[in-house]
Amino acid sequence: MRTSPAAESQLTESAPAAADAAELCSRLIRFDTSNFGGGQSRGERAAAEWVAELLTDAGQSPVVLESAPGRASTVVRIPGTDPAAPALLVHGHLDVVPAEAADWSFDPFCGEIRDGAVWGRGALDMKDMDAMMLAAVRSFARTGRRPVRDIVMAFVADEEDTGAYGAGFLVDKHPELFEGVSTAIGESGAYAVHLPDGTRLYPIATGERGSAWLTITARGAAGHGSRRHSDNAVAKLARVLHELTAHQWPVVITPAVGALLHGLAAHLGIELDPADPASLARLGEAARLVEATVSNTLNPTMLTAGYKHNVIPSEAKAGLDGRLLPGTEEDFFQIVDAILGEDVTRDAGGFAAPVSAPHDGPEFAAMAAAVRAHDPAGLVLPYCMSGGTDAKAFTALGIDCYGFAPGNTPPGFDHWTYVHGVDERVLLDSLGFGVQVLSAYLLSDPRVIKETSA
């Protein structure tokens, strides 16, 4: 079979783009962009300005927008060849979770390239994707290739907290930047998951569970710690927390999870019971894609009560992290309130609704085609994220959001051990694979794929 000129061009360019992605990732890691939450962060403005310089050097016209002192995001629109085509948003966050240097075997912000990897905080979450985005744009500048549709790239602040200083700010204050955008890609999906039969699954996120961050408060009468006390706020809170954590949330199979289970069962030739952890364990690495997304979850994460050993406090509080599947919001809060009863109240808390996008349309098909172009044996299926991303902000603009940040790692490389963990690193081979897949998707025309697959 003869290779097309476009394919030959992409193959020729793949090595420079891969090397570029590694260098860019290394440099990005060296910006300490730790996000401590509560509005406290460092380094985002410097990283955003550096990204803008690179984009400008590649012939683009980025803007740097600051939501608060030091909290900056960079956005650029890359014109496509067809003004009538719906635009695509590609978003990546510049901030990272903090790293305790004493726990690491090297400087978390060294950005060192050695032993086949780029090392440092953010290497997998998600400065690798930021680097691939930049490498793709620089590749377009070197080769003269242009996407069919406009591509808006957003390098944002604050994803590792609430997003209010990043994606939320852009959506609220600068929605014009996303005019004409119908689809978005960001973290987390299209990375290799190794199945028990030795094949590779590339799950693309078509949904996210919603989040409900609640603070519950138990109240009672203050008193002396040495005396019997029937109206103890701490005891009330403890009883409610026990009941909340013991609650068995019903199994609910959303379309994305159903498609994933069906595809895996057919591929592996097995039957699966989503309510049975032992059944899901037959999926190997892929089990973690399912086990946290077949039901809602609610976990206590913070406790506050009292100020002295011998004083019974009048108030005790707990922070809870709830995650909700699409369509379950009303039932979730009804169950929580029933368990709380009259003695414990909850505040409105931070709530972000679940999001979902179609997995049977042209955009998903275009992403799958880009993956299979570089791994023909790869299995591509939709899944639902257990956590959340900036997709929740961009969905408010009517944009269909997907998790598509491609990568390919060998068996035994536990991606999730390093995300928010210690000694984080991204493999050079994965970066090279990712930038090829990402570039292929950015240059594709989903409208054509829809026509040829119909």
- Cβ pair 121, 97 in contact under 8 A: yes
What backbone torsions phi and psi does residue 74 show, to the nearest 5 degrees?
-115, 130
Comparing CA positions, the residue from 55, 60, 63 lying closest to residue 80 is 60
Residue 95 designated active-site: yes
Phi first, then psi, for residue 76 (nearest 5°) are -140, 145
User: Terminus-to-terminus CA distance in the chain, angstroms?
Assistant: 24
**How far apart (Å, rounded) are the C-alpha atoms in residues 86 and 80?**
10
DSSP letter assigned to residue 165? T
Q: Which residues contact 19 (CB under 8 A, 6 or more apart)?
A: none
Buried residues in 273-300 as b, exposed as e (16+ CB within 10 A): ebeeeeebebbbbbbebbeebbbbbbeb
User: H-type helices in 62-209, by residue range?
Assistant: 127-143, 167-173
Residue type for position 244: L
State yes or no: is 8 an active-site residue.
no
From CA 12, how far away is CA 20, in angstroms rounded?
14
User: 119, 422 in Cβ contact below 8 A?
Assistant: no
Catalytic residue of the set 20, 125, 159, 424: 159
Strands (E), 147-195: 151-156, 181-186, 193-194
- Given 13, 32, 95, 158, which residue is catalytic? 95
CB count within 10 Å of CB 412 equals 7
Pairing of strands 151-156, 71-78: antiparallel
Query: How far apart are the C-alpha atoms of 168 and 12, rounded to whole Å?
Result: 39
Catalogue the active-site residues: 95, 159
